[in-house]
Amino acid sequence: MFESIQRYRDYYAGALLILIGLSTIYQSSRYDVGTLAEIGPGFFPMVMGVILAGCGLAIAFNQSTAADAEHDAETLGRPEWRGWGCILGGVLAFILLAHTGGLFPATFACVFISAMGDRTMAVRNAAVLALGISVFGVLLFHYGLKIQLAPFAWMAR
């Protein structure tokens, strides 16, 4: 059974994204979408639902090549625990640091720890990636969208 799930994992993943996207579209339709000039509260979730459903369709109907099938047969049944652990650790780091450290340190830790889940990622490259995304995140979310999370916790005091 595990082997059949692994063989069709792209279809299952695509179907899950389609389901999440469609349910997001349905829920966001209950809110005012507004116009492009005056966007309502339902606009962003609606767009994200469409993007999720579109990505799900692309994943589910992506044609695998023979080389991919051979590679899948070789790696079948070997979960990538390092990647799982680093991604979950990155999310937990963001949750723990957002309030106590601020948006910048939380984003930096999340991206850095998650990037280290890739066995080919160098520490320097992960740090540069985390720095770039942290700066972009602070500019976008704090200054652009006015999210009420200070870039650094000591700035909120």
Residue-wise pLDDT tens digits, 98-108: 889 999 999 99
Residue length of the chain: 157
pTM for the model: 0.58
Number of CB atoms found within 10 A of residue 130's CB = 21
Largest CA distance in the chain: 58
Residue 102 region by backbone torsions, left for phi larger than 0, else alpha for psi between -120 and 50, else beta: left
Distance, in Å, from the CA atom of 111 to the CA atom of 130, rounded to the nearest integer, reads 5
The parts of the chain modelled with pLDDT lower than 50 are 65-67
Q: Centre a 10 Å sphere on the Cβ of residue 25 and count the other Cβ atoms it contains.
A: 18
